[in-house]
Structure 1
Amino acid sequence: MGKITVNNLGKAYKQYPSRWGRLAEWLIPGSKSRHRLNWVMQDVSFTVNPGEAVGIIGINGAGKSTLLKMITGTTQPTSGFVKLEGRVAALLELGMGFHPDFTGRQNAYMAGQLLGYSVEHISRLMPEIEAFAEIGDYIDQPVRVYSSGMQVRLAFSVATAIRPDILIVDEALSVGDAYFQHKSFDRIREFSKQGTTLLIVSHDKQAIQSICDRAILLSQGRVAMEGEPEAVMDYYNALLADKEGASVHQVMTDDGKFQTISGTGEVEIEDVQLLNADNESIELVKVGEDVRLRVSLYVKEDIESLVIGYLIKDRLGQPVFGTNTSNLHHPLEHVKKDSRLQFDFRFSANIGEGSYSIAVAGHRGAVHVGGNYVWKDLALVFNVINFDKSSFVGVAWMNAKVECHV
Structure 2
Amino acid sequence: MLVLKGVGKAFREYPSQILRFLTWMGVRVRNVNEHWVLRNVSFRLGHGEAVGIVGQNGAGKSTLLKLITGTLRQTTGDIVVNGRIAAILELGMGFNADLTGRQNAIHTAGLMGFSQADIARVLPDIEAFAEIGEYFDEPVRTYSSGMQMRVAFGVATAFRPEVLIVDEALSVGDAYFQHKSMARIREFRRQGTTLIIVSHDRTAVQALCDRAILLDKGEQRMDGDPHTVMDYYNAMIAEKENSAIQSVQLESGKVQTISGSGEAVIDSIGLFNAADEKVEFINVGETVDLRVRVMVRQDLPRLVLGYLIKDRLGQDVFGTNTHHTAQVLENVRAGESYEFSIRFDANMGAGAYSVSTALVSTDTHLVNNYEWRDLALVFTVMNVDRTYFVGATWVPPHISIKQP
* Mapping 1:3-402, distance limit 5 Å: 3-16=1-14, 21-23=15-17, 25-26=19-20, 32-402=29-399
* 8 A Cα contact 2:294 2:338, kept in partner: yes
2: distance between equivalents of 1:24 and 1:47? 39
When structure 1 is superposed on structure 2, of 383-392 and 39-48 the one drifting more is: 383-392
Distance 1:116 1:26, change over 3 A: closer
* 8 A Cα contact 1:22 1:34, kept in partner: no
Distance 1:279 1:174, change over 3 A: same
2: distance between equivalents of 1:26 and 1:383? 63
When structure 1 is superposed on structure 2, of 79-88 and 276-285 the one drifting more is: 79-88
Write the letter of the residue equivalent to 2:198: V
Question: Which runs of 5 or more structure 2 residues have no equivalent in the other structure?
Answer: none
- TM-score scaled by length of structure 2: 0.95
* 8 A Cα contact 1:54 1:216, kept in partner: yes
Deviations 1:140-171 (A, max 9, x none): 22222222221111111111112221111111
Distance 1:28 1:256, change over 3 A: closer
Secondary structure of 2:330 counterpart? strand
* 8 A Cα contact 1:164 1:196, kept in partner: yes
Shift of 1:23: 4.1
2:401 matches 1:404:
yes
Write the letter of the residue equivalent to 2:5: N
Distance 1:32 1:218, change over 3 A: closer
* 8 A Cα contact 2:8 2:74, kept in partner: yes
1: distance between equivalents of 2:93 and 2:129? 19
* 8 A Cα contact 1:25 1:34, kept in partner: no
* 8 A Cα contact 1:89 1:168, kept in partner: yes
* 8 A Cα contact 2:91 2:145, kept in partner: no
2: distance between equivalents of 1:97 and 1:327? 44
When structure 1 is superposed on structure 2, of 280-289 and 27-36 the one drifting more is: 27-36
- TM-score scaled by length of structure 1: 0.95
1: distance between equivalents of 2:376 and 2:28? 62
* 8 A Cα contact 2:239 2:259, kept in partner: no
1: distance between equivalents of 2:162 and 2:21? 46
Q: How many residues in Structure 1 have an aligned counterpart in Structure 2?
A: 400
Write the letter of the residue equivalent to 1:126: L
2: distance between equivalents of 1:202 and 1:160? 19
Question: Which runs of 5 or more structure 1 residues have no equivalent in the other structure?
Answer: none
Shift of 1:244: 3.1
Secondary structure of 1:96 counterpart? helix
Write the letter of the residue equivalent to 2:73: Q
Write the letter of the residue equivalent to 2:2: I
When structure 1 is superposed on structure 2, of 231-240 and 104-113 the one drifting more is: 104-113
Shift of 1:26: 4.8
* 8 A Cα contact 1:213 1:229, kept in partner: yes
Shift of 1:105: 1.5
1: distance between equivalents of 2:299 and 2:96? 63
* 8 A Cα contact 2:93 2:152, kept in partner: no
Shift of 1:340: 2.0
Distance 1:197 1:31, change over 3 A: closer
Shift of 1:96: 3.4
When structure 1 is superposed on structure 2, of 181-190 and 197-206 the one drifting more is: 181-190
Shift of 1:28: 8.1
CA RMSD of aligned residues (A): 1.7
When structure 1 is superposed on structure 2, of 43-52 and 117-126 the one drifting more is: 117-126
Shift of 1:14: 1.3
Distance 1:120 1:333, change over 3 A: same
Distance 1:104 1:23, change over 3 A: closer
Distance 1:213 1:31, change over 3 A: closer
Distance 1:26 1:97, change over 3 A: closer
Secondary structure of 1:108 counterpart? helix
Write the letter of the residue equivalent to 2:12: K
* 8 A Cα contact 1:274 1:294, kept in partner: yes
Secondary structure of 1:280 counterpart? coil
Write the letter of the residue equivalent to 2:235: A
Distance 1:42 1:379, change over 3 A: same
Shift of 1:213: 0.3
